[in-house]
Amino acid sequence: MLNTPAILNAFATALSPEYLLITLWATVLGIIIGMLPGLTATMGLALLTTLTFQMESFQAITALLGLYVGAIYGGSRTAIILNMPGTPASAATSLDGYPLARQSRAREALGLATIGSFFGTMVGVVLLLFTAPILATYALKFGTYEYFWLALFGVVISGRLTALNDPLKGWIAGFLGLLFAMAGQEQVFAYARFSFGIQDLTGGISLIPAMVGAFGLVEILSSISNNQKPKISENKGRLLPKAREVAQNAGTIGRSGIAGTLMGLIPGVGEDIGAWVSYAIAKRFSRTKEMFGRGSTEGLIAAETGNSAAVPGAIIPVLTLAIPGSAPSAVLLAALVIHGVQPGPMIMFTSADMVYGIVAAITLAACVMTVAGVMLTTPLLAVLRIPRERLLPVIFVLCTVGAFAIAARPFDVWTMLGFGVLGFILKQMDYPMAPLVLGLVLGDLLDKSLRRGLNLSEGSLEPFLTRPISAFLAIATLMSLALLLVPTLRRIAKRNNR
């Protein structure tokens, strides 16, 4: 049951001048970060987390949520104007946004993206408000055995959905992340594994330096490798869409919002897959399928609605299961723990005010995002004119400072550099980064749950397969592997027979 007084109190707090100011600067900062190729939402959250240690917990979470919402939306700016998605979540936006810009409809495309992002976030917020308490109630039934399969299922499904053309690469990246998570002291007997005599490795690999390297440094290296210098489009036109046009796309907004939220719920899938799935569904139901990829306003709205709806969707499992739905939400999970909030099945009993506060903060951030997106479109485009040669060194310094500031350990800087180089090599071979990071995030949960489960069952695997929820998750995981592994093996066999 929803606590109406608590919800109203959360919105009253979020609307106070202090929190309005925090939301304003954080959301605008997020839009700028999202606009700049190389600065992703994950990287922005990781860097901002290091600056919130002295802030009160809800202030810090409000700032992080504002940046999160703004960054996912901000990526549409470069996707439409330059055909360069500022964030991976905006890749689908460029399919129709850039053709619209080339048709002298750039401002219209920016306005449609803004409206789509607002409604997508609102759909996700409503589902977050009503779904989180229900999911938290069912999460109480999760034990050690269920968490093992949930962690494994998250890695498997993430590998599948982030590497649609070759799921095997997604799985390899995911299990590579699990392997890295095994480094350091294990949780039962505190035995140091895979430390190779390196003292710093006994504490394990820190998540935020690894993510800053895997996302931030990889984008820097990729930008240098591609050597792209696009031109700015100066197209002008109507910014805000007509009410009739928005009403005509109500079905697309509703379907895309629900699809994006559901994609956010799946561990490790995230906003980019939410956009692609929403785009595919919109094309399936569209009466003008031939326009998709050539400047379809329907396709643009679907993509932006889907990736923005995935933001509150990804936060649902963070709050109720302590499992991130996307890479940025993994940083948010770490920030919640740092600021004394313990996500998990009991959160609605121990920190219900924080849950309602998060709902209010996301709602307010969406409103600020919409106003800022409309008012600051022209000024923000000037940021894109910063020469790449000046921008990339600044980003690299931010990566280094962000990695070092968490624990003031030089080893974390080396971790950031190592994951950056490894991520760049994997990206050149079309391996997705999200499963690798998710494997690192879920590795501790998977290992701990497996060990505790085996201790409780005295070495028997039976409870992992016979408990109702465990059996369901086991079947879902094995079916996900079987349905795609068999065709993959057949393709490999045909290739070898040639």
Query: Could you say which DSSP state residue 86 is in?
Result: S
- The dihedrals phi and psi of 266, each to the nearest 5 degrees, come to -75, 125
Distance CA 70, CA 44 (A): 10
Question: What confidence tens digit (pLDDT) does each residue in 213-241 have?
Answer: 876 687 778 777 776 554 444 455 566 77
Domain housing 9: 4-497
Does residue 391 carry a pLDDT above 70?
no
Question: What confidence tens digit (pLDDT) does each residue in 81-118 have?
Answer: 766 677 777 878 888 888 887 787 777 888 888 999 99
The domain total for the chain is: 1
What is the torsion angle, in degrees rounded to the nearest 10, for the CA atoms of residue 289, residue 291, residue 295 and residue 301?
-20
Query: Would you state the pLDDT for residue 278?
Result: 86
Question: What confidence tens digit (pLDDT) does each residue in 18-42 have?
Answer: 999 999 999 999 998 888 765 678 8
* CA max distance for the chain: 70
Query: Would you state the pLDDT for residue 470?
Result: 87
Mean predicted lDDT score pLDDT of the chain: 80
Question: What confidence tens digit (pLDDT) does each residue in 116-147 have?
Answer: 999 999 999 998 888 877 766 666 677 788 87
Does residue 259 carry a pLDDT above 80?
yes
Taken as a whole, the chain contains a residue count of 498
Task: Name the nearest CA neighbour of 30 among 88, 60, 73.
Answer: 73
* DSSP string for residues in 182-245: TSEE-TTT--EES-TT-GGGGG---HHHHHIIIIIIHHHHHHHHHT--PPPP------SPPHHH
- The dihedrals phi and psi of 193, each to the nearest 5 degrees, come to -115, 145
Query: Would you state the pLDDT for residue 132?
Result: 73
Question: What confidence tens digit (pLDDT) does each residue in 32-74 have?
Answer: 888 876 567 887 888 888 788 788 888 899 999 999 999 999 8
Place of tokens 């909030």: 341
Query: Would you state the pLDDT for residue 371?
Result: 92
* Angle, vertex CA 405, rays to CA 401 and CA 409, nearest 5: 105
Distance CA 185, CA 175 (A): 19
